[in-house]
Amino acid sequence: MPFYQTRGLIPPKRHTAFKRSLNTIYYEELISREGFSSLYSNVYHLSMPTKVIDLGKLIPIVIKKTNSKHKARHIQTQNIPDGGDIIYDRIPLMFNDDVIIHKAHITESMDSFYRNAHFDEVLYIQSGNGQLKTNFGNFEVKPGDYIVIPRGVIWQLEVNNDIRCLVIESKSPIETPNRYRNKFGQLLEHSPYCERDIRTPILADPVDREGKYKVDVRTIDGLQEMFYAHHPFDLVGWDGYYFPWIFNINDFEPITGSIHQPPPVHQTFKSKGFVICSFVSRMFDYHKDAIPSPYPHSNVDSDEVIFYSKGDFVSRKGVSLESISYHPMGLPHGPQPGKYEESIGKKFTDELAVMVDTFKPLHLTENSVKVEDKKYYLSWL
């Protein structure tokens, strides 16, 4: 997220001796993207961050596609059993070369630390609450939060009340759309949210403890257990443009018009292979002959995934909270029978939904097929 933040103690000049006492110093680490050519932060440790004392198991992660027919689907993720933590027990539902979409029903706090080495992550919190602790600082987590965690951040989730969330792993950075930003990176006046809406980490007191601390490092191949000689949350300060952050879906200001607006007005984030959009409570179109329901459409270059988070979606019937509708590219879809006509004259919708539009076809996993409504593709009759 391109705006400057600073926390805790930092020296007046980068890459200089930062005195801790007469005989000791703090240890600087540069965390950067695209080599040294994009966003970065400088962080300052009590101990060298490179002290690996042991290497544990590599726990393979193999996500297999299932052979499935090309059709519209209704995936009832609310029927996935509860249990486990957010790392070991997330359930992959669909994927392609750019993105993996999981669901997690979390009942346990993490008992080790986690760093994703090969993917950026977005966690959408459907229900529950807790604390996200990171090496950059901490957050209170609540429903509606989009938690954006760039790769390389070390974190741990503590659960107060069972959390259900959507987990999106991205091969590329998660960013704000270009059209929302000026040439300096500041979110513009017409953007549906601004920097005030974004929560950034609150730095806690550094933990100065030696021992054997496990960090599960996520790679393309699996989870690599690594053990470090010092607690990873030992930062005394940091500054820069690279850090985890949170935006709550309820702070998205909808863009409306006199006639139905297309889905790009709901865009919230972008990556190289997909976009994330937020459908929120909003006034409907105000032309005297407007039809608020979406028109039937064939988005021939995108697979469309919609996660239903709250309310009664204007164009769908038979979907419940935490349902996912999946409409693959090349097939027309739209409002179901009666929904198009019923929407005429309606003034307002109270709903929340998260949409992921991918630019390459998605592969389904057996986990999705197990909980799908097998007859959904017939629901337009």
pLDDT digits 0-9 by tens, 266-288: 999 999 999 999 999 998 888 99
The bridge status of strand 210-218 relative to strand 113-116 is parallel
Q: What are phi and psi of 243, to 5 degrees?
A: -170, 160
Q: Are 281 and 349 in contact (CB under 8 A)?
A: yes
Q: What's the CATH superfamily of 249-378?
A: Jelly Rolls (2.60.120.10)
Considering the chain, what is the average pLDDT of its residues?
Answer: 95
DSSP 8-state assignment for residue 67: P
C-alpha 172, offset from chain centre: 12
How far is it, in rounded angstroms, from Cα 101 to Cα 110?
Answer: 20
Task: Output the pLDDT for position 1.
Answer: 62
Task: Output the pLDDT for position 139.
Answer: 98
DSSP 8-state assignment for residue 342: H
Predicted TM-score of the model (pTM): 0.96
| In the chain, % of residues over pLDDT 70 | 99
Task: Output the pLDDT for position 69.
Answer: 93
How far is it, in rounded angstroms, from Cα 202 to Cα 208?
Answer: 18
Q: How many CB atoms lie within 10 A of CB 318?
A: 12
How far is it, in rounded angstroms, from Cα 76 to Cα 215?
Answer: 33
Task: Output the pLDDT for position 285.
Answer: 87
337: left (phi over 0), alpha (psi -120 to 50) or beta: beta
Domain ranges across the chain: 249-378
Angle at 325 between CA 320 and CA 330, to 5 degrees: 160
Residue ranges, the chain, pLDDT below 70: 1, 314
Residues with Cβ within 8 Å of 72's Cβ and at least 6 positions away in sequence, in order, are 325, 326, 327, 328, 331, 333, 376, 377
Q: How many CB atoms lie within 10 A of CB 69?
A: 6
Short-list 349, 356, 368, 316, CA closest to 146 = 356
Half-sphere exposure of 13 (CA within 13 A, CB side): 4
